A and B are shown apart, each in its own frame.
Chain A
Amino acid sequence: MVPDNSNNILEIKNITVSYGPIIALKKVFLEVKQGQVVILIGSNGAGKSTLLNTIIGLEKPDEGRIIYHTDDITFWLPERVTRSGIFLIPEDGGIFRTLTVKENLQLGAYYSFEKYSEQLDFVVNLFPLLKERLKQTAGTLSGGEQRILAFSKALMANSKILMFDEPSLGLSPKYIIQIYDTIKYLNRYGYTILLAEQNSVQAFKYADKIYVLDDGQITLDGSPADLKDYKRIKEVYLGR
């Protein structure tokens, strides 16, 4: 069967990444189509963060290619990748704690500052709670609010692909649902989403496509409906 590459927005081909002698990713492949929600599941240390960091340019692969639209972005610097429309929200939230909420949002729009006020309106409409906190120092927000600020910053940047590294980590169930609903909303609004997650129950609910990353290798991929029946998935990720 000839794979259909026509509307791939991001394509990862046989990426291998190592830290010294330790191989973190081994010939990993992944495709993201325009408008999809792609979720990467895997346990701690499976290489999810490494993969996202490699896409954004923080890590350099030993071999393989990363193609975004028609550009080869494999060895671009993070600032250039971000500029071209891919935005990573890292695990620890990726906000500047010592700066105010407003300053965080202004920095989110670092290279698209001419659209700043327009984007700010959009973000404040989406998350009304930010409105009254604009002057507050970001470090004083609660964990869930900080996550929302990190989201908003990504939206300020006017990107095309949003990548989330474990967005639900350390949040209460109430916030997890809110975060995922927001992700779904953003997806409908036009953002393409790539997400790394341990919490696979959510993944099966929201994803268009799932990749299972196990010890640095993609062991399974497919739509949630396809994957549900695999024995290993049931045992390891769904706890049944």
Chain B
Amino acid sequence: MIVGIGVDLVDVARFAATLERRPALRERLFTEVELQGRSVSTGLVSGQAGALCTGHAGDELCGETFADAGREVPVASLAARFAAKEAVAKSLGGPPGLAHREAEVVVGDHGRPMLMVSGRAEEIAGELGVRRWHLSLSHDGGFAVAYVIAEG
């Protein structure tokens, strides 16, 4: 059963300009794993513990960009991650008290983006009965978009 959906669109140039004006936003919005584009074990895939999810295989953000761990993550990818965090909040009904770092975009096998939700976001998701997250990311034409489904 679908508990909630969320979508968010980010202007990549505007996002880049904001990060340039406020560099400390990087640490406020993103985890270290996200900033480094590191991959995670695929043992996390497919809704274990209710906080994990599968992403959308074959996404253009996944392949060479996410596979090259250790390189600086391109700003378009960070913009897509930011969109994913906003989309998670929307899928939960936009409750107050969520922190962006609580919705973490990680990379699984074959560059598949996945969500790991923690803290207040995880609590609310639990209350709503969310057991699995689905995430799809894309960017083109200067915009990044994220689509999230919270499944019960």
Whether chain B is bound by chain A comes out as: no
